[in-house]
Amino acid sequence: MTAQSLRPRRSARRLKTDTTRTPDMIEEAQRLRYRVFSEEYGSDLGAEIPGLDADTFDTVCDHLVVTDSDNGQLVATTRILHQADTGPVGGFYSAGEFELSALKNLPGAVAELGRTCVHPDYRNGATISLLWSAVAEYLVSHNVDYLIGCASISMSDGGLKAWRIARHLQREYLADDTFRVYPLRALPHLTHTANEELPVEVPPLLKAYMRLGARVCGEPCWDPDFRCADLLVLLEVNNLASRYSRHFLGKAS
């Protein structure tokens, strides 16, 4: 039997979403995160427990998960940290990578999205749309006004791809000065440059952010543990809400 034949048939998939803080479900999410991130970024992530991507933020976040109803497998996950829950961890995860003072006086509630990943066998538009539908419902139901998050780009090629993607997104999707942040560890500059006219392949999850109306808030940060470049992205939820109604509620009606 080939590896291909072991994969679920896409036509038979029945996916569902849940929001959880259940330890067993969080551990499943941590295992999926480890598999995806360690393979994509070529790093052991500094994991304290082998096979788990875990940190102190997991215990104070709401975890949104997508599971396959036919086999119970967790196939996609992300986590949301509402500013009201940041007390025990001293702030947002992204504050460890960016100087966020410009965002502290925003008029409204802020939440942070993080650790988003999708199982390789389920990495398609349907799964990502379902995950984003769950995120949108969460933001609206919890009265979140601004969503922030670190979007990662692999530096497995030494950083050229990351710089090209970062420059493209800054040209096309740069946020207003009101939302400007600064990296605590600037991405090392390269001694050579690429042809700026060549097509730029933006990672699917980053592309999904931009399609939903997100903007990048400045220069990328270097994350040596994950061996990647991170961009701080921000989404005004009023913008997301209108797109959510059109693309998700419209399909459900």
Task: Map residue 72 onto helix, strand or coil.
Answer: coil
Longest Cα–Cα distance in the chain:
58
Q: Which residue has the higher pLDDT, 193 or 95?
A: 95
CA-CA distance, 140 to 193, in Å (whole number)? 42
pLDDT of residue 231: 94
Contact 82, 109 (CB under 8 A): yes
Contact 164, 172 (CB under 8 A): no
pLDDT of residue 196: 60
Paired tokens of 181: 């942040």
Q: What is the pLDDT of residues 36-54, one digit of tens each?
A: 988 877 776 677 788 899 9
pLDDT of residue 246: 57
DSSP state of 186: B
Give the pLDDT mean for 174-182: 94
Domains of the chain, first to last: 3-252 (3.40.630.30)
DSSP character string of 127-185: HHHHHHHHHHHHHHHTT--EEEEEEEEE-TTSSHHHHHHHHHHHHHHBPPGGG--EESS
**Predicted model pTM:** 0.86
Decide if pLDDT at 224 tops 70: yes
